[in-house]
Chain A
Amino acid sequence: MTSAPPRRPKVGLFVTCLVDLMRPAVGFAAARLLSNNGCDLVVPPEQTCCGQPAFNSGDREDTRAIAEQVIATFEGFDYVVVPSGSCAAMMKVHYPELFAAGSNWRARAEAFSAKVFELVSFLTDVLKIEALDARFPASATYHDSCSGLRELGIHDQPRRLLAGIDGLSLTEMKDPDVCCGFGGTFCVKYSDISNAIVERKAANITASGADTVLAGDLGCLLNMAGKLKRDGSAIKARHVAEVLAGMADTPAIGEG
């Protein structure tokens, strides 16, 4: 009485430039989550960045060139999975807008867009995973990163999966859906304003009483972790993928 094994979807992992450079652990966690849950995983070595810095700086031409390269590299997969809401939104929502309506590249970008998913929403919405077998003894609070939340509608998915993690208790902070002040180049160009925003975020995280802050976007995490550490806080920051993959026994972001 065996049914045919479900086809293993061929998934291309786009690790994002920040994960590649700043936090490889997130890439390994994403890779494990995908391979352990029935995906045929490939990490194309020629990937670089999704083009967001150029896009948000008004440099359309470079953005388009980068987008073409990403599309060409990844369009052969069934799915393209990204452990970042903002990079996923860049590829899913904004790539098609870069090309003239009716053009060949527009058609390719649209077909590509349909295959792109943020990691956690891919697990829940595509692979239909309701619970993962992992342990993480901590009390955590979850920060909704802006692009994932507002451009991709990611809100319940990470909370649902986290709720099933053994040992983890989840507390909501005040205003979990308010920006942490990262904003890509914004945090460097307007660092005083960015600081005022992340100060409020850090205060809300602290007031939640949690010992760990989780998020799905490394940009926000570097920002929040950097602020908490500068203030001497003991609160740890981690990408949600590390927890879901059961790989949260390594040092947290910014810790030795």
Chain B
Amino acid sequence: MQITAPKFKENATKALHDASLQKALGNVERGFVAKRAKAAAALPEFDALRDAARDIKNHTLENLDLYLEAYEEKVTAAGGHVHWASTAKDARDAILDICKTANARTVTKGKSMITEEIGLNDHLEKNGIHPIETDLGEYIIQLRGETPSHIIAPAVHVNKEEIEADFRRVHTHLPKDRQITEPTALLSEARVVLRQEYFNADVGITGANFLIAETGSSIIVTNEGNGDLTQTLPRVHIVVASIEKVVPTLEDVSTILRVLARSATGQDMSVYTTLSTGPKRPEDPDGPDEYHVILLDNGRSSMLGTEFQDMLRCIRCGACMNHCPVYHAVGGHAYGSVYPGPMGAVLTPKLWGIDQSGHLPNASTFCGRCESVCPMRIPLPKMMRHWRERAFEAHQEPAAQRYGLSLWAFLAKRPKLYHLATGIAARGMAMLGGSKRRLSSLPLAGGWTKHRDLPAPEPKTFLQQWAEGKR
């Protein structure tokens, strides 16, 4: 995947001026927030479930090696194969190998952020294999040659007029006079096209929301049923999942599932929750002949035991971005990474390096709304701050910023000098503010006065006036 996080500012400015994107983002802001609030309010034990979910995942992460080994054992016992991949390349190679062995030409895919992370589609295409996204949102962005802008609603940045135009461009069989303006018409059009692909496909690739150590099962939750067709119709099913997706038992999964859909879309449960355990058994009417799991690390294990371990609890519900004012303003593509919003601001520097993605953990107001809705109680602002610490230690921020801050800190540690400086500043700014008592431009504060006036202070600071006996 091409990462454009270093250009976050340019990306953001472009997004702010994109009228149709801004309209589409309004839907995230209104729809998801209200739905989550309603679902949470309707379940009295919602917060207790969040605690339980957090505890389950913490326990798993403390014993991750044990649960992964147990999981592998069960998968093998059920007739499946586990492939360990420490890097994105390892995962791509393993998948390509399986596809080649199966003589695959067409591969159907259920929605999977992990395959975006490892840049799978490009890799398959380069090797003569045609991947087809079957999730409606993913299908749309595949037609558009774009990447997802949201982890559960990948095409949330596209509006329905644009989708209609894309379908007319690619589905050349469409009669000009056929109406496909309504969402349901668009959906059935995609469904007809995709149906044929399910039967053509030799391999089906899905992600996994969870892996269960107790049974060796993978779980996907979807609202479209496309994942089920992807993993049952082709001869070979490949599950691509990162190592932190493992959960000890079925019981544990049922707890976490209760907070997942509520946090994501405000549903009690997603429409489909599908468990797969190994390939088709002799008595099964359908299912794949082969079942493979690619277990990807890609930096996760290096988060264990560090200040970033809590991030591995993430279940990719998207609630943090749905509630993030920065995400609402600029959308997912501005982040220039597979993972946008607050969770991406923590994860991306781990995957691509803080030198590449230093903007992301900085571009947050620390309003804390992400943490307050995260079902897994991940302290997102705190972890973004840890990245800022690493960047600060590496002297990454612009020199002017660094000097400005150290000067401030230098003064803050020396009250006498500090009061001398603030006294002078107050007098100066009061003079500049004049009788209007506000400044519309101020040297060194261009970032502020570009969009806002600066209310001017009084000529004397509070502490000066207090010392003079004013009450």
On whether A191 and B330 interact (CB within 8 A), knowing A57-B388, A179-B369, the answer reads no
Name the distance in Å between B378's Cβ and chain A's nearest Cβ. 14
Chain B interface main SS type: helix
Interface residues of B in 435-471 (CB under 8 A from A): 435-438, 440, 445, 447-448, 450-458, 460-463, 465-467, 470-471
Question: In this assembly, does B13 line the interface, its C-beta being within 8 Å of a C-beta of chain A?
Answer: yes
State whether B13 touches A192 (Cβ < 8 A). Answer: yes
Given A19-B462, A20-B462, A178 contacting B369 (CB threshold 8 A): yes
Determine which of A43, A146, A230 lies in contact with B366 in the assembled complex, contact meaning CB atoms within 8 Å. A146
Let me know if A159 is at the binding interface, CB within 8 A.
Answer: no
- Mask of B1-31 contacts with A, CB within 8 angstroms, 1/0: 0000000010011001000000000000000
Q: Are A195 and B369 in contact (CB under 8 A)?
A: no
Are B422's CB and A20's CB within 8 A? yes
Q: Contacts of B418 on A, CB cut-off 8 Å?
A: 48-49
Q: How long is the Cα–Cα vector from A26 to B368 in the complex, in angstroms?
A: 25
Contacts of B436 in A (CB 8 A): 256
Closest Cβ of chain A to B432, distance in Å, is 13
Q: Which stretch, A60-68, A114-122, A128-136, touches the partner chain B?
A: A60-68
Query: Would A183 and B367 be within 8 Å (CB), given that A226-B452, A230-B440, A230-B451 are in contact?
Result: yes
Could you give, for residues 318-357 of chain B, a 1 whenever the CB lies within 8 Å of some chain A CB and a 0 otherwise?
A: 0000000110111000000000000000000000000000
Bound CA span A193–B471, Å: 40
Rounded to whole angstroms, the CA-CA distance of A189 and B360 in the bound complex is: 12
Q: How many of chain A's residues have a CB under 8 angstroms from any CB in B?
A: 71
Chain A contact residues: helix, strand, loop or mixed: helix
Does B12 contact A58, Cβ atoms closer than 8 Å? no
Q: Smallest CB–CB gap between B294 and chain A, Å?
A: 35
Interface 9-residue window, one of A4-12, A162-170, A207-215, A247-255: A247-255
**Which A residues touch B174, using CB under 8 A?**
none
Mark contacts of B168-188 with chain A using CB atoms, 8 A cut-off: 1 yes-contact digit, 0 otherwise: 000000000000000000000
Is A15 close to B, CB under 8 A? yes
B202 at interface by CB-CB < 8 Å: no
- Which of the residues B401, B415, B438, B463 comes within 8 Å of A226, measured between beta carbons? B438
Contact present for B329 and A196 (CB under 8 Å): yes
Which one of A28, A43, A66, A186 lies within 8 Å of B413 (CB-CB)?
A66
**A59 close to B329 (CB less than 8 A):** no
Interface residues of A in 183-218 (CB under 8 A from B): 183-198, 200
B452 and A223 contact, CB distance less than 8 A: yes
Q: Is the CB of B388 within 8 A of A179?
A: no
The answer to whether A182 and B365 touch (CB under 8 A), given A43-B463, A190-B12, is: yes
Q: Which of B326, B388, B412, B447 has the most CB of A within 10 A?
A: B412
Contact pick for A187, options B372, B447, B466, CB 8 Å: B447
Partner of B461, one of A21, A58, A63, A198: A21
B371 within 8 A of A: yes
Binds A, one of B43-51, B82-90, B128-136, B389-397: B389-397
Docked-complex contact B425 and A58, CB < 8 angstroms: no
**Interchain CB contact under 8 A, B451 and A190:** no
Q: Check A227 against B445 for contact (C-beta < 8 Å).
A: no
What's the minimum C-beta distance from A231 to chain B, rounded to whole angstroms?
9
Chain A CB within 10 Å, residue with most, of B9, B426, B452, B471 = B452
Judge whether B388 and A193 touch: CB under 8 Å: no
Which residues of B have CB within 8 Å of A187?
365, 447-448
Do A179 and B325 touch across chains, with their CB atoms under 8 A apart? yes
> Which A residues lie within 8 Å of B76 (CB)?
none
Q: Please give, as numbers and ranges, the residues of chain A lying within 8 Å of B366 by CB-CB distance.
A: 56, 146-147, 183-184, 186
The answer to whether B453 touches A226, judged by C-beta atoms less than 8 angstroms apart, is yes
Cβ-defined contact, A254 with B456, below 8 A? yes
Q: Are B16 and A193 in contact (CB under 8 A)?
A: yes
Docked-complex contact B385 and A195, CB < 8 angstroms:
no
* In the complex, B408 has a CB within 8 A of chain A: yes
A31 at the interface (CB under 8 A from B): yes
For residue B450, give the distance in angstroms from its CB to the closest CB of chain A.
Answer: 6
Q: Knowing A183-B366, A187-B447 touch, does A198 contact B452 (C-beta < 8 A)?
A: yes
B461 touches A20 (CB 8 A): yes
A20 touching B463, Cβ below 8 Å: yes
Do A58 and B422 form a contact, CB below 8 Å, given A48-B411, A150-B371?
no
A18-48 to B contact mask, C-beta < 8 Å, 1/0:
0111111011100110000000000101111
**Which partner residue on chain A sits nearest B372 by CB separation?**
A150
Q: How far is the CA of A229 from the CA of B452 in the complex (A)?
A: 8
C-alpha spacing A186/B384, complex, angstroms: 13
Could you say which residues of chain B place their CB within 8 Å of the CB of A55?
385
Using A62-B409, A62-B413 as known contacts, say yes or no to A151 and B368 having CB atoms under 8 A apart.
yes
- Taking the complex as formed, is B363 at the interface, i.e. its CB lies under 8 A from any CB of chain A? yes
Name the distance in Å between B322's Cβ and chain A's nearest Cβ: 12
Decide yes or no whether B406 CB sits under 8 A from chain A.
Answer: yes
**Are A56 and B388 also in contact (CB < 8 A) when A47-B463, A198-B452, A253-B455 are?**
yes
Chain A, 84-138, CB within 8 A of any chain B CB: none
Residue of B whose beta carbon sits closest to that of A255: B437
Q: Does B330 contact A227, Cβ atoms closer than 8 Å?
A: no
B274 at the interface (CB under 8 A from A): no
B405 within 8 A of A: yes
Docked CA distance A225–B397 (Å): 29
A192 to B450, CA, bound (A): 9
Beta-carbon contacts under 8 Å, B101-116 to A: none
Are A45 and B467 within 8 A (Cβ)?
yes
Contacts known (A21-B425, A47-B415, A188-B445); A62 close to B325, Cβ less than 8 A: no
Task: Tell me, yes or no, whether A54 is within 8 Å of chain B by CB.
Answer: yes
Q: B270 in the interface, Cβ–Cβ < 8 Å?
A: no
Any B CB within 8 A of the CB of A161: no
Distance, CA A47 to CA B412, complexed state (A): 8
Closest 9 CB pairs of A and B: A183-B365, A226-B452, A58-B388, A254-B455, A58-B392, A188-B447, A179-B367, A24-B462, A62-B409
Give A contacts to B, CB under 8 Å: 15, 17, 19-24, 26-28, 31-32, 43, 45-49, 51, 53-60, 62-63, 65-66, 69, 146-147, 150-151, 177-179, 181-198, 200, 222-223, 225-227, 229-230, 251, 253-256
| Interchain residue pairs with CB less than 8 A apart (6) | A24-B457, A24-B462, A183-B366, A188-B447, A194-B365, A254-B455
